[in-house]
A and B are shown apart, each in its own frame.
Chain A
């Protein structure tokens, strides 16, 4: 990879981090950025098409779509971060234990991973969330609980190669315990791949949440989320195209942002890719 390619790559990553920062900014400043109250119902202005007054139009209850999308960014971000956090914690612990100890512990954990990978996971998420009251916390936790398998595989692979290194032998020689070696000596060396998985995981979690909300079992109205605005878009598909177009575009842009950032970090950290 020559200098220009590297710059090109970094430009994409720059764009990715720009998008991610923009979203953070929007969701933190939602109360000040949103032109209207996202919950304000005005039936006389139901399904008004986009104009200068309502840039993205209004929904079937006359609420401003742009304001609802700005507040929806908060929900997406929250779901993305918490769900990924849950997945990363479970995945890292299981992967570290499997890779460090090996033997039957490794076999048991990896068989469990195999089982989870054979699931049509989306079916299970759907069932569990529909059974529990669909609340945002339930959604975040369930998405996390069904998304840790990839992280486990990554962390395990890192641990298997790292545990034979000299610095681990040295730590053992001075009498460090297993926990200390796992968390203080090996884990910091595996952080690079965990960071990449986390960034890409946020994108995946946001996509899953929007799909669930779209099906009506995710974030419940009146709380605005990009997915449930799209449900309104589907219900009014023949009259209100703006309800379908803009929230989906927001999801797409967000996911592109996180994916670009994740891949950028991977390229930066993985010297093997810099041929």
Chain B
């Protein structure tokens, strides 16, 4: 088992390297530079100043040398200094926003698992029932609905018409003066819509996948064997079938992580949540290369670790994978 994990981790390294190379080159080869953006609005900025900025950001060197120096810094755990006017270390900027994005994505994953798996399994067990058909429609709309639009509608309905939920930020204005318990309630209220929105897309995908798996498992011989030896229908479904259908669903969860992380740009912008997605959006607008690279790197690592956890838990659950 340990050997398998080590092998997987070793396989991650070149993948990560490939991702950073593509990102770095794509970013630096697109026309224009951060120095342009900072000087073109300023009539006092001379051509020399622009050159000085280029040199300060090391943008005057050939791109492969820039990449190499970025890589060297990364290997020391240094993400560099932001190009934006605050000139703070990128690692600090990301770390203060990291927890909230992770919290929202983690809650979304929990909701996806808790809701999608029962829906998928029940739809399959009661194939063509009313429940299956309603779930089918729900899944179909889930695939087609633009989540940012759903967010707008929910904001209008729950935030403006009913006034039940706050529609932006993480804290109310009077947060400081609330009791600790009221602070938690306040935070939770601010999180309801963002978490719901970010889990919505994943719900459809996983429940449909779960349904397909379950349908396939139910037709297997060992399910017939279980029935033939007189087990109750409940035992057959929930002890024999469900466990086998759950296995492949684990990998799908791993694959859904890039989507979740990408989605955080959208919902953090809509709900004005000070997370990594919002930071990325601001960094992109300001051409803040070090911050962009830092977030892309962390996003890629999260994705790879998610895949690793999925594959390892798959291997733990299914001995056939380990052996081969």
Contact among B140, B295, B299 with A259 in the assembled complex (CB-CB below 8 Å): B140
Proximity bits, B131-174, A CB within 8 Å = 1, else 0 = 00000000011011110111011011000100000010000000
Is B30 within 8 A of A244, CB to CB?
Answer: no
CB–CB B295/A123 < 8 A: yes
A203-B144, A233-B152, A244-B152 given as contacts; is B167 within 8 A of A215 (CB)? no
Residue A114 CB within 8 A of the other chain: yes
Does B307 make an interface contact (CB < 8 A)? yes
A104 at interface (Cβ–Cβ under 8 A)? no
Q: How far is the CA of A247 from the CA of B155 in the complex (A)?
A: 16
Selected from A120, A245, A247, the residue in CB contact (under 8 A) with B299 is A120
**CB-contact partner of B284 in A126, A248, A256, under 8 A:** A126
Size range of the chain A interface in the assembly: 35 or more
Q: How distant is A56 from chain B, measured CB to nearest CB, in Å? A: 15
Q: Is the interface of B mostly helix, strand, loop or mixed?
A: helix
Pick the interface stretch among A27-35, A160-168, A170-178, A234-242.
Answer: A234-242
Stretch binding the partner chain, chosen from A36-44, A77-85, A94-102, A127-135: A127-135
Q: In A109-157, which residues have CB < 8 Å from any B CB?
A: 111-112, 114-115, 117-124, 126-128, 130-132
Contacts of B32 in A (CB 8 A): 131
- Judged by a CB distance under 8 angstroms, whether A159 is at the interface is no
Interface residues, chain B, CB within 8 Å of chain A? Answer: 15, 18-19, 22-23, 26-27, 30-32, 140-141, 143-146, 148-150, 152-153, 155-156, 160, 167, 255, 258-259, 261-263, 265-266, 269-270, 280-281, 284-285, 287, 292, 295-296, 299-300, 303-304, 307
Q: A211 near B266 (CB under 8 angstroms)? A: yes
**Contact across chains for A251 and B281 when beta carbons are under 8 A apart:** no
Bound CA span A158–B322, Å? 28
Closest partner residue, chain B, to A238 (CB atom) = B160
Q: How far is the CB of B297 from chain A (nearest CB, A)?
A: 11
Whether, in the assembled complex, A207 has its beta carbon less than 8 Å from a beta carbon of chain B, the answer is yes
Looking at the complex, which one of B156, B259, B287, B296 makes contact with A124 (CB distance below 8 Å)?
B296
Are B167 and A119 interface neighbours, CB within 8 A?
no
Taking a contact as CB atoms under 8 Å apart, the answer to whether B155 and A237 are in contact is yes
Q: Among A121, A123, A211, which residue has its beta carbon within 8 angstroms of that of B280?
A: A123
Q: Tell me whether B155 and A252 are in contact (CB under 8 A).
A: no
A215 contact from B149, B269, B299, Cβ within 8 A: B269
Q: Which residues of B contact A252 (CB under 8 A)?
A: 141, 144-146, 149
A256 engages B140 (CB within 8 Å): yes
A75 within 8 Å of B (CB atoms): no
Q: Does A230 contact B (CB under 8 A)?
A: yes
The smallest C-beta distance from A156 to any residue of chain B, in angstroms, reads 18
Residues of A within 8 A of B27 (CB): 127-128, 131
Which residues of the partner chain B approach A203 to less than 8 Å between Cβ atoms?
144
Complex CA gap A210/B167 in Å reads 21
Contact A127 B265, beta carbon cutoff 8 Å: no
Q: Is the CB of B30 within 8 A of A128?
A: yes
* Centre residue among B15, B27, B261, B262 by max chain A CB count within 10 A: B262
